[in-house]
Chain A
């Protein structure tokens, strides 16, 4: 009898986890989307095919779609190239000032969107620093040289390397110094060691990060919008317009389905590649990798030059944003500084206005709650999925949890809003629209795929024997999970939480539909303060808010990565924390194998 059941059905923890997952997925992933898709495609009792004809007939839609896919593919290559270089420069090679390099490269983690584009515009735009230099030296260079496909790829490449910096950097810890040394002794050149020993070790993480890069490229909004010019517009802005127009939502849904096909194809390919490798190193005592000196003096010099050139590329835009946040709107929009440009008024407006602090509180609370809920929930779900990797149940769960990557955010949010504005049995007959909770639900939903994938990588990195050993020692599933597995994935979980937290702080797209009238987060506040139809001095405010957000993001990252939390704890209890110390860059699942 009992043995007819699949293995997972015999574990109480698995059954409970699965039940909760099934309910949550049904209520917040499946039903809202079905509701919206039905509304969109089922016209007059029949299936409407209007959208497909409209899209296929539109040259602009097709070329935008092509551009989006092209961008996603290009970025999958360029981001990996730059990302791997950046990681090598900061972690693998013994370059001078590696710490400064790391901090500089890490700036890409603390800002994004339109503000980031503005930052790059200060350097490369028609009145940017570099442009002025270029046009002076080479008068034939047009002022608007920085436009189109190359410009978009350039900016997005540097903007997207943050994941590499976090995740790849950590998987460097997986490389055994002895392996590198023995390879060198066998006569392998530094280049060969890099190619044959180091890079293969990083490959699984590279795959995982490539998914993120690909999706980022596919959904690119702000950068192509500003820098794409006439010839390189992508599909996301069009989708956004359609999603916001009730009668055109079928077009947005149709586009979403097309993009979803690309996303699924990419996921399938990477899943296959992932399955091909073995991802935990055999537990030999590894000697921590020490930074490698570059033997060849020319190569060494070239490496330094490139690394520092990249540092400038990375640091200039955010530095200029901070600088310009102290100036007036005219200076910002023209990119010029005069003696009288500087003002503290922006900061005064942003910080001293009595109502200005409330959105910060709301945003931080929502982000924190959502980031914690999503990580706590998914710890159990990913545990379930990785424990029964071959079961059909795991496959289904995995696909369902990827839905938020497949549906564009706006559609997802509208689905939630529509579904839950009437009492729904699935949530106990309650109406959720207009409550404080629904925005948190939407945030949680939105962060599920990212969290799921990275957590899964962390779980897969755990040596399976370790939990088997625990089980044989009599530990129950829950006990093993709590005492053995959790400590191993906690560093990754902490990092994901930090990233999730930061990414939700300035959300607008979700909040605009779901925020409770009294609890409106920062994103709405920023947009209102800056939308073109109001105050002209608003762009300065965006910069101020962005700088404040950069500060919050930096603090979060410092707490998790920079050992900030540990340092604080050590101050609080100097005796306990003394025993263990070390490099506080966690994150790679395989560290623990």
Chain B
């Protein structure tokens, strides 16, 4: 439905997006994920019509919208800072687009109330000034304001990052529900991988304006295409050359030497020493610290002069360890993610 075709965006001498190509399907919840400055917001704002591409085309339903002014693109957008109209009441904010479209009064009234209910705003709140609402409520107004026009495309630029954790989780679910209910094609921009993973149908991971990988959350997580994606998403432990060498020698091991190798911390196992290794590479260490998180326990394990963090999910069968316990860390060869030595030194 939405296609970026070799889109390049420059700000003066700075190229924010070099040659971006991307396709988003109808009804999809698509996320642009990356660190700040990776170009994800630029891509979104270009689609909204706020940036002029230096080259390339933007297609919506096969139609070229590159030169279309933003007020005629029929796209809804929710901003990080809500971007409500401070001089208007909540009701006026939500009704704004309908008034612009010169909808009849009754219809405006009806649709405002309908959408307000859907985003859980009370009628009393409708007549307040926007400054009188809390952050979460303000963002609900912003969402309502965008949805009331029933756009086919909804852009969300870090909509939850100004909210506190609990509210964030709550709105995350509601947003996703609304998206499914309306069937809106949505592009979501965030630097929060949790958000991206839990909400998206597909994720595009961006770095320095280039797409590193596009895929489902599972693909991106489990089969990270590049070293950047691997290290950006989730927590990984970088394996030393010796460990890689030993892993490669295990029977049937896919691990090759001479590549950068990572393993996700939750894939590491922690056992008492001298138990059978199940085909894993096992290294002895001593528990430095154990942090109990309920559904998992995070251990800091000392291996000689290095410290490795291991995340062990709660289990009724496995025993817990305490500081000072002698343990063995295990790595299964199939859990090792390997990449060419291409990019700059990535932290492990």
Which of A285, A473, A479 has most chain B Cβ within 10 Å?
A473
B250 within 8 A of A: no
- Are A488 and B97 in contact (CB-based, < 8 A)? no
**Beyond A282-B162, A466-B83, A469-B145, is A476–B77 a contact (Cβ under 8 Å)?**
no
- A285 and B83 within 8 A (CB): no
A463 close to chain B: CB less than 8 A: yes
User: Which residues of A454-509 have CB atoms within 8 Å of chain B's CB atoms?
Assistant: 463, 465-466, 468-477, 479, 483-484, 487-488
Closest to B137 in A: A285
Interface residues of B in 49-78 (CB under 8 A from A): 49-50, 52, 66-67, 69-77
A-chain residues with CB within 8 Å of residue B129 when the two chains form the complex: 580
20 CB contacts below 8 A, A to B, read A3-B66, A284-B135, A285-B135, A285-B138, A390-B12, A463-B83, A465-B79, A468-B45, A469-B84, A469-B142, A471-B71, A472-B48, A472-B71, A473-B96, A473-B97, A473-B149, A474-B72, A477-B71, A487-B85, A592-B87
- Given known contacts A469-B79, A473-B76, what 5 new A-B pairs fall within 8 Å (CB)? A284-B135, A472-B73, A472-B146, A473-B100, A487-B85
Distance in angstroms between the alpha carbons of A438 and B84 in the assembled complex:
43
Is B323 interfacial (CB-CB < 8 Å)? Answer: no
A473 to B78, CA, bound (A): 11
Q: Is the pair B100, A479 in contact by a Cβ cutoff of 8 Å? A: yes
For A1, the closest partner residue in chain B by CB is: B67
Mask: chain B, 190-216; 1 = CB below 8 Å from A; 0 = not = 000000000000000000000000000
Q: Across the interface, name the chain A residue whose C-beta is closest to B54.
A: A3
Residues of A within 8 A of B74 (CB): 474
Tell me the complex Cα distance, A468–B50, Å: 7
Cβ A468 vs Cβ B138 within 8 A: no
* A2 CB-CB contact with B under 8 Å: yes
Q: Which residues of B contact A580 (CB under 8 A)?
A: 129
Known contacts A472-B70, A472-B77; A284 and B162 CB within 8 A of each other: yes
Task: Write the nearest CB–CB distance from B149 to chain A, whole angstroms.
Answer: 7
| Per-residue contact bits, chain A 385-419, to B (CB 8 Å; 1 contact, 0 not) | 00000100000000000000000000000000000
Assess whether B82 is interfacial by the CB under 8 Å rule. yes
**In the complex, are the beta carbons of A283 and B81 less than 8 A apart?**
yes
B133 at the A/B interface (Cβ < 8 Å)? Answer: yes
Query: In the complex, what residue of chain A is closest to B94 when comparing beta carbons?
Result: A473
Which residues of chain B have C-beta atoms less than 8 A from A463's C-beta? Answer: 81, 83
CA distance A580 to B75 in the complex (A): 33
B319 at the interface (CB under 8 A from A): no
> Which residues of A297-324 have CB atoms within 8 Å of chain B's CB atoms?
none
Question: Is B48 within 8 A of A474, CB to CB?
Answer: no
**Which residues of the other chain, A, contact B69 by a CB distance below 8 angstroms?**
10, 471
Cβ-defined contact, B100 with A469, below 8 A: no
The answer for the CA separation of A2 and B69 in the assembled complex, in Å, is 12
Does A7 sit within 8 A of B, measured CB to CB?
Answer: yes
Minimum C-beta distance from A584 to chain B (A): 15
Chain B interface residues toward A at CB < 8 A: 11-12, 45, 48-50, 52, 66-67, 69-77, 79-88, 96-97, 100-101, 129, 131, 133-135, 138, 142, 145-146, 149, 162
In the complex, the answer to whether A7 meets B52 with C-beta atoms within 8 Å is: yes
Which chain A positions have C-beta within 8 A of B11? 390
Contact of B100 among A3, A283, A474 (CB under 8 A): A474
Nearest CB in chain B: distance from A582 CB, A: 10
Q: Please, which residue of chain B has its CB at the minimum distance from the CB of A390?
A: B12
- Nearest Cβ on chain A to B220's Cβ, whole angstroms: 29
* Pairs A-B, 5 closest by C-beta atoms: A473-B97, A465-B83, A487-B87, A283-B81, A469-B83
| Minimum CB–CB distance for A567 against chain B, Å | 20
For A471, the chain B residues whose CB sits under 8 A away are: 49, 69-71
* Residue ID in chain A nearest B82 by CB atoms: A283
Contacting residues, chain A, for B146 (C-beta < 8 A): 472-473
Cα A7 to Cα B72 with chains together (Å): 16
> Is there contact, CB below 8 Å, between B73 and A465?
no
Nearest chain B CB to A36 CB, angstrom units: 38
Compute how far the CA of A106 lies from the CA of B169 in the bound complex, rounded to whole angstroms: 50
A110 and B151 alpha carbons, distance in the complex (Å): 54
Interface of B is mostly: loop
Q: Check A2 against B87 for contact (C-beta < 8 Å).
A: no
Given contacts A390-B12, A468-B48, contact A484 B85 (CB under 8 A): yes
Please give the number of chain A residues whose Cβ is less than 8 angstroms from any Cβ of chain B in the complex.
Answer: 29
Of A284, A466, A477, A487, the contact of B84 (CB 8 Å cutoff) = A466
Q: Within the assembled complex, what's the spacing in Å between the Cα atoms of A580 and B130?
A: 13
CB neighbours (8 Å) of B97 from chain A are 473-475
Q: A148 CB to closest chain B CB, in angstroms?
A: 50
By beta carbon, the residue of chain B nearest A466 is B83
CB distance from A174 to the nearest CB of B (A): 13
Q: Chain B: which residue is nearest A286 at the CB level?
A: B131
Residues of B within 8 A of A284 (CB): 135, 162
Cα–Cα distance between A475 and B98 once the two chains are bound (Å): 10
Partner of A3, one of B67, B86, B131: B67
For B82, list chain A residues within 8 Å (CB): 283
Residues from chain B with a CB closer than 8 A to the CB of A2 are 67
Bound complex: CA A552 to CA B231 (Å): 69
User: What's the least CB distance linking A470 to chain B, in Å?
Assistant: 7
Q: Smallest CB-CB separation from B51: which chain A residue?
A: A7
Q: How far is the CA of A285 from the CA of B88 in the complex (A)?
A: 15
Task: Give Cα A564–Cα B73 distance, bound, in whole angstroms.
Answer: 44
Whether the pair B71, A468 counts as a contact (CB closer than 8 A) is no
Residues in B neighbouring A285, C-beta threshold 8 A: 131, 133-135, 138
When each residue 1-22 of chain A gets 1 if its CB lies under 8 Å from chain B and 0 otherwise, what string results?
Answer: 0110001001000000000000
Decide: B138 and A283 in contact? CB cutoff 8 A: yes
Task: Indicate which residue in B12, B72, B87, B135 contacts A488 across the interface (CB closer than 8 Å).
Answer: B87
Across-interface contacts of A7 in B (CB, < 8 A): 52
Closest B residue to A7 by beta carbon equals: B52
Q: Among B67, B96, B138, which residue has its beta carbon within 8 angstroms of that of A475?
A: B96
Contacts of A479 in B (CB 8 A): 100
Considering only CB atoms, which chain B residue lies closest to A479 in the complex?
A: B100
Q: A285-B133, A285-B138 are in contact. Are A488 and B96 (CB under 8 A)?
A: no
A484 — nearest CB in chain B belongs to which residue?
Answer: B85
Query: How many Å lie between the Cα of A3 and that of B7 in the bound state?
Result: 14
Which of the listed residues A3, A474, A487 has the most CB atoms from chain B within 10 Å of its own CB?
A: A474
| Contact residues in A for B50 (Cβ distance below 8 Å) | 468
User: Taking CB as reference atom, which chain B residue is nearest A474?
Assistant: B100
Whole-angstrom distance between the alpha carbons of A282 and B97 in the complex? 24
B310 to chain A, nearest CB (A): 34
Closest beta carbon of chain B to A272's beta carbon, Å:
16
